[in-house]
């Protein structure tokens, strides 16, 4: 009876048991939409970025079982940078159109770039999907350079969408009640 009650509570809350874990997706990938000053995805890298005015960005939609998310981890790799001293490319990170944070790639930076955002107010999935978008927010003056990202197929780079902690707690409670029942 307790296990049915716990599952009923989860159903009322719209929480699926599969939502207990974070979901990791390759990003940027061959499925990414790239708008870049030189925008492309090939087997090694993704675009060259330096201009907010042009709408430089990388975005992709991911099908998910998470009903909502309150955290996101971004794992990227800067493959090439031509930024000169003092220049930087500034980025915003958006999840389903909500700005959850920003970061900057300064001159000379090469290699792994990891950043975590959250907790933030729960952002619900839209029809079972999350749109992850990173977009340039500044204009690097002409002649001061650009940078490119590694394509996720070349190295393991990803976006990790994490569920809200309350969902995890409820799922843990449901699991405990189901085990007790058995």
Residue 182 has pLDDT above 70, yes or no: no
| CATH class of the 18-165 domain in this structure | mainly beta
Over the stretch 30-78, which tens digit does the pLDDT of each residue have? 899 999 989 999 888 999 999 999 999 999 999 999 999 999 999 999 9
Q: Please list, in sequence order, all residues whose beta carbon lies within 8 angstroms of the beta carbon of residue 156, skipping any fewer than 6 positions away.
A: 26, 75
Domain parsing of the chain, residue ranges: 18-165
Residue 100 has pLDDT above 70, yes or no: yes
pTM: 0.78
Over the stretch 116-165, which tens digit does the pLDDT of each residue have? 999 999 999 999 999 999 999 999 999 999 999 998 876 667 888 888 66
How many Å is the maximal CA-CA distance in the chain? 69
Closest to 56 measured CA to CA, from 124, 133, 164: 133
Q: Please tell me the predicted confidence (pLDDT) of residue 127.
A: 95
Over the stretch 105-119, which tens digit does the pLDDT of each residue have? 999 999 999 999 999
Residue 20 has pLDDT above 80, yes or no: no
Q: Sort 42 into a burial class: Cβ within 10 Å, 0-12 / 13-18 / 19+.
A: exposed
Q: Please tell me the predicted confidence (pLDDT) of residue 158.
A: 80
Distance CA 63, CA 95 (A): 13
What tokens appear for 175 in the block?
């699991």
Q: Please tell me the predicted confidence (pLDDT) of residue 19.
A: 41
More confident residue, 25 or 19: 25
SS3 (DSSP) at 100: strand
Contact predicate 119/165, CB 8 Å: yes
Residue 174 has pLDDT above 90, yes or no: no
């Amino acid at each position: 009876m307790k296990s049915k009650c716990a599952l009923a509570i989860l159903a009322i809350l719209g929480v699926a048991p599969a939502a207990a874990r974070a979901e990791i997706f390759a990003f940027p990938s061959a499925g990414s939409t790239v708008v870049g000053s030189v925008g492309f995805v090939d087997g090694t890298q993704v675009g060259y970025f330096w201009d907010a005015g042009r709408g430089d960005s990388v975005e992709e939609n991911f099908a998910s079982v998470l009903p909502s998310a309150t955290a996101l981890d971004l794992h990227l790799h800067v493959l090439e940078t031509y930024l000169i001293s003092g220049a930087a490319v500034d980025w915003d990170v958006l999840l389903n159109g909500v700005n959850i944070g920003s970061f900057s790639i300064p001159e000379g930076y090469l290699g792994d770039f990891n950043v975590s955002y959250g907790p933030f107010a729960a952002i619900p999935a839209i029809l079972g999907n999350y749109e992850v978008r990173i977009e340039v927010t500044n204009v690097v003056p002409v002649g001061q350079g650009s940078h490119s990202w590694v394509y996720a197929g070349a190295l393991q780079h990803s976006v990790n969408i994490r569920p809200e902690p309350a969902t995890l707690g409820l799922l843990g409670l449901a699991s405990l009640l189901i085990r007790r029942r058995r």
